[in-house]
């Protein structure tokens, strides 16, 4: 259909003279037409999260609690802690990220913001997948940022050395991005359903297993003084694939969610 | 001008219509709600869709806006439109100004100046920064309708716009709608209540299982 091409044409022409046009703003309209759209999606997410710092703290707190309770419940022996540390840290981080992402689109669907996103994507010619990708990127900062920030503290408890800590942080940064991408797709599929958070967990956990396996292996390798490049590269490859595929899948899921 | 309910044979576009609907059928869970509908919304035309709860008014509006795929038929929307649904697309934790700014940016109306938004909020004495969750339902409704006048678009699709709106708000919407129609716009709205005083005259349509008919025809048959 030629609809999209025609939609774009009158956009400038039909504005009524009543509309106030600020010259400073007109300049960024001349930039790619969809830049303000994507910026608005990302900014809204960011501002909302900043207004509710408790949620961010809670994600970090969850990570700390899970990871800190393990050493207390195990034999207090450095060898055991070293053995279990990487796995525990990764599981705790994975759960914290999933917890944060489970209800990603719930409020947006209920408030009708998703409708406006779908309409804007049609009107401005922005692929909905890009809008979803912008959401995912901000969600990654919000969900993984606090976890990464407190990870060094928790890693101390398990006696991780500096090299292992570096690999843990790099692995978590890559791996959590994959997890956020997967969880966003699941959240989009479950949007509007009751028990969406639980459904998201169930859908993501099987797919998250490879991330967990390679992430923990990388830390183990670094702890033993072996290079962890291979595992980190695999995590990077997973992220590359997820970054390409997940926004498209998420957009498809959201479109059907708004059709309901 | 085609008659609502009759299937439009013409309307091949290019006629200046802001919205063209051809043989449109609405379904929900396999049940036909309305249709086939065929009509053209020409500039200056206003339509008031009525019908009992569950007759598919919202479905019709969402289909026209392009949010729902029609079960059958085609919607041609050659101009940008505002679809303001029953829900208010506001972020509960953000202030009124941030909400409007983000919405307009999203919708490709980033050219609307901040000063215009501030002036609008001042006019309704709406707090700029206070989280929207603390505003009343009517204030939120006003915010949801704000883009209509802040960034003009030739077609308005409004689902229950008078919901929770106070008298001043209704009067404002009536005035805005009159200016919109006079300026060559068209609008289609659904509402249970009678239109407020001063609202420009709208063609009443009755949405039912046998398609949209003029409400007058329904009244005559009854």
- Residue ranges of alpha helices (H) inside chain A are 3-8, 10-13, 23-30, 35-51, 53-73, 78-101, 106-111, 113-124, 128-157, 162-190, 196-223, 229-259
ipTM: 0.85
Report the pLDDT averaged over residues A78-85. Answer: 86
pLDDT digits over A136-176, tens only?
999 999 999 999 999 999 988 888 889 999 999 999 999 99
Amino acid B145: pLDDT? 93
Residue A156 maps to a domain = yes
Give the β-pairing of B155-159 and B211-214: unpaired
Check whether B129 has a pLDDT greater than 70. yes
Contact check, Cβ <8 Å, A123/B113:
no
In this complex, do A16 and B77 lie within 8 Å of one another by their Cβ atoms? no
Q: Is residue A11 part of a domain?
A: no
What is the rounded average pLDDT for all residues in chain B?
84
Structural domain includes residue A224: yes
For B139-174, write each residue's pLDDT tens digit: 999 999 999 999 999 999 999 999 888 899 999 999
Judging contacts by C-beta atoms under 8 Å, the chain A residues touching residue B183 are: 16
In Å, what is the CA distance from B53 to each residue of A141, B163, B192, B204? 43, 15, 9, 16
pLDDT tens for each residue of A37-67: 999 999 999 999 999 889 888 889 999 999 8
Number of separate domains in chain A: 1
> Would you list the domain boundaries of chain B?
12-79+154-221, 86-137
Whether A6 is covered by a domain: the verdict is: no
pLDDT at B11: 38
Rounded to the nearest 10 degrees, the angle between the axes of helix A113-124 and helix A229-259 is 100
The per-residue pLDDT for B210 is 52
CA distance B12 to A28: 36
pLDDT at residue A200 above 60?
Answer: yes
Residue A99 lies inside a defined structural domain of this protein: yes
Predicted pLDDT of residue B212: 52
CATH superfamily, domain at B12-79+154-221: P-loop containing nucleotide triphosphate hydrolases (3.40.50.300)
pLDDT value of position A119? 92
Domain that holds residue A235: 33-259
pLDDT at A10: 39
Would you state the structure tokens that stand for residue B77, as one six-digit string?
A: 């929307």
Q: What is the pLDDT of residue A6?
A: 38
**Cβ–Cβ gap B152/A11 under 8 Å:** no
Q: Is the pLDDT of residue B13 over 60?
A: no
Determine, yes or no, domain membership for A2. no
Let me know if residue A22 belongs to a domain.
Answer: no
pTM above 0.90, yes or no: no
Q: Are B103 and A139 in contact (CB under 8 A)?
A: no
Give contacts of B103 with chain A, Cβ < 8 Å: 40, 116
A247 domain residue, yes or no: yes
């Amino acid at each position: 259909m030629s609809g999209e091409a025609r939609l774009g044409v009158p956009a400038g022409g039909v504005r009524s003279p009543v509309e106030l046009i600020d010259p400073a703003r007109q300049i960024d309209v001349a930039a790619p037409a969809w830049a303000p759209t994507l910026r608005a999606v990302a900014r809204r997410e960011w501002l909302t999260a900043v207004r509710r710092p408790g949620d961010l703290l809670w994600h970090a707190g969850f990570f700390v609690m899970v990871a800190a309770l393990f050493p207390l419940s195990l034999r207090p022996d450095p060898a055991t802690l070293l053995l279990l540390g990487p796995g525990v840290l990764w599981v705790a981080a994975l759960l914290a990220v999933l917890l944060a992402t489970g209800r990603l689109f719930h409020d947006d669907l209920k408030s009708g913001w998703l409708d406006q996103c779908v309409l804007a994507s049609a009107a401005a010619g922005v692929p909905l997948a890009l809008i979803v990708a912008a959401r995912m990127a901000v969600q990654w900062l919000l969900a993984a940022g606090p976890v990464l920030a407190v990870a060094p503290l928790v890693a101390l408890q398990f006696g991780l050395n500096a090299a292992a800590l570096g690999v843990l942080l790099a692995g978590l940064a890559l791996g959590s991005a994959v997890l956020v991408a997967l969880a966003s797709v699941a959240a989009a599929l479950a949007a509007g359903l009751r028990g969406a958070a639980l459904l998201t967990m169930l859908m993501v956990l099987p797919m998250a297993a490879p991330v967990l396996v390679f992430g923990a292996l990388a830390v183990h390798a670094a702890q033993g003084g072996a290079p962890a490049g291979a595992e980190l590269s695999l995590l990077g490859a997973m992220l590359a694939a997820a970054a390409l595929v997940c926004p498209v899948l998420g957009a498809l899921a959201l479109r059907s969610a708004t059709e309901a | 001008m085609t008659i609502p309910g009759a299937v439009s044979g013409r309307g091949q576009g290019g006629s200046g219509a802001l919205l063209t609907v051809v043989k449109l059928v609405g379904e929900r869970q396999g049940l036909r709600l309305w249709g086939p509908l065929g009509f053209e919304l020409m500039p200056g035309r206003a339509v008031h869709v009525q019908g009992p709860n569950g007759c598919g008014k919202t479905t019709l509006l969402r289909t026209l806006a392009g949010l729902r795929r029609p079960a059958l038929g085609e919607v041609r929307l050659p101009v940008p439109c505002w679809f303001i649904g029953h829900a208010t697309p506001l972020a509960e934790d953000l202030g009124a100004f941030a909400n409007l700014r983000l919405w307009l940016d999203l919708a490709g109306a980033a050219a609307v100046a901040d000063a215009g938004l501030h002036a609008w909020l001042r006019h309704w004495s709406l707090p700029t920064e206070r989280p929207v969750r603390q505003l009343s339902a009517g204030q939120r409704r006003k915010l949801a309708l704000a883009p209509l006048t802040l960034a003009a678009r030739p077609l308005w699709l409004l689902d229950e716009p008078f919901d929770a709106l106070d008298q001043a708000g209704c009067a404002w919407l009536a005035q805005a709608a009159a200016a919109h129609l006079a300026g060559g716009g068209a609008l289609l709205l659904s509402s249970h209540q009678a239109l407020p005083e001063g609202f420009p005259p709208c063609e009443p349509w009755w949405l039912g299982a046998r398609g949209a008919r003029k409400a007058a025809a329904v009244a005559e048959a009854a």
